[in-house]
């Protein structure tokens, strides 16, 4: 592709500005002299950037493998640390449940150890159970997602349930 049109368009040379379009076309078609051809001008150089890879193509390399290895390298926490972290999660669930209900004094939480991890049981008044569950169970599902995400971040398995 010939970029001489753009070179002439943006050059600061007053001669090029005064010339007519026919003269510019005639000048482009003339072969250059050997001295000028041997030394490339800075304006004639065009840098071509490589095409950008798609996000999916770039992730197929090493990033996905690095992320998988980071999650597996995490050591299991000590039993004392597990109790402390579960207490923090229990406090978080209690705070969230109290913010949702009409009578926050009647809300309590309890940690129960199960085969597949721990569960934080929320106990509340019968009239407030529906507010914690939410429409179609969306609120309790959100609480479960937050609890399981926080627990997995520290290397545990946990969930939240409602005592009925």
pLDDT tens, 59-110? 555 555 555 555 555 666 777 888 888 899 999 999 999 999 999 999 999 9
Structure confidence at residue 6 (pLDDT): 55
What are the backbone dihedrals phi and psi of residue 123, each rounded to the nearest 5 degrees, phi first? -115, 135
Please give the pLDDT value at position 35.
Answer: 54
**Residues 3 and 46 sit within 8 Å (Cβ to Cβ):** yes
Domain boundaries, the chain: 4-38, 79-162
Which residue in 129, 154, 153, 132 sits closest to 143, CA to CA? 132
Question: What homologous superfamily is domain 79-162 in, according to CATH?
Answer: K homology (KH) domain (3.30.300.20)
Q: How confident is the prediction for the chain on average, in pLDDT? A: 75
- What does the alpha-carbon distance between residue 77 and residue 97 come to, in Å, rounded to a whole number? 27
Per-residue pLDDT, averaged over 125-139, amounts to 93
Instruction: Give residue 16's pLDDT.
Output: 47
Residues 6+ apart with CB under 8 A from 103: 124, 125, 127, 128
Residue 14 has what pLDDT?
A: 47
Q: What are phi and psi of 53, to 5 degrees?
A: -75, 150
Segment of 12-26, 30-44, 136-150 carrying the highest mean pLDDT: 136-150
Is the pLDDT at 11 greater than 50, yes or no? yes
Strand bridging mode 158-162 / 108-114:
unpaired
Query: Does the reported pTM lie above 0.95?
Result: no
């Amino acid at each position: 592709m010939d970029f001489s049109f753009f070179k002439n368009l943006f050059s600061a040379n007053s001669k090029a500005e005064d010339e007519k379009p026919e003269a510019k076309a005639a000048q482009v078609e003339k072969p250059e002299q050997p001295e000028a051809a041997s030394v490339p001008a800075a304006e004639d150089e065009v840098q071509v950037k490589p095409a950008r890879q798609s996000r999916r193509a770039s992730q197929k390399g090493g990033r996905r493998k690095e992320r998988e290895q980071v999650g597996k390298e995490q050591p299991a926490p000590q039993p004392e640390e597990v109790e402390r972290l579960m207490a923090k999660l229990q406090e978080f669930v209690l705070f969230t449940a109290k913010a949702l209900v009409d009578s926050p004094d009647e809300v309590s939480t309890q940690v129960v150890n199960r085969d597949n991890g721990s569960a934080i049981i929320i106990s509340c008044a019968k009239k407030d159970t529906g507010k914690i569950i939410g429409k179609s169970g969306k609120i309790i599902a959100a609480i479960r997602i937050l609890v399981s995400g926080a627990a997995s971040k520290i290397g545990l398995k946990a969930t939240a349930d409602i005592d009925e």
